[in-house]
Amino acid sequence: MITVVEREIPADIVEFVETDRLFLNPLETSDWRIRRVVRDKVLRCAENLPDGLCLMIFEAFRPRSRQWELWKPVHARITADNPDWTPEQVYTESSRWVAPPDGFGSGHQAGAAIDVKLALPDRTELEFGGLMKGLTGVAPTDWPVADELRKNRDLLVKELHAVGMINYPDEWWHFSYGDRLWAEVTGRDTAFFAPID
**pLDDT value of position 7:** 56
For 180, the enclosing helix (H) or strand (E) is helix 180-185
Task: Choose the weakest-confidence range: 42-51, 63-72, 107-116, 121-130.
Answer: 63-72
Question: What percent of the chain lies above the pLDDT cut of 90?
Answer: 62
Three-state SS at 160: helix
Q: Burial of 124 by CB count in 10 Å (0-12 exposed, 13-18 middle, 19+ buried)?
A: exposed
More confidently predicted of 13 and 39: 39
Three-state SS at 151: helix
Three-state SS at 185: helix
Task: Choose the weakest-confidence range: 3-17, 96-110, 131-145.
Answer: 3-17
Asked whether the predicted pLDDT for residue 97 surpasses 70, the reply is yes
Domain 3-61+106-191, second-level architecture: 2-Layer Sandwich (3.30)
Q: What angle do the packed helices 64-81 and 87-97 form, to 10 degrees?
A: 130
Three-state SS at 166: strand
* pLDDT, tens digit, 9 for 90 and up, residues 14-73: 999 999 999 999 988 899 999 999 999 999 999 999 999 999 999 999 888 888 888 899
Q: What is the pTM of this model?
A: 0.87
For the beta carbon of residue 52, count every other beta carbon within 10 angstroms: 7
CA dist., res. 156 & res. 154, Å (int): 6
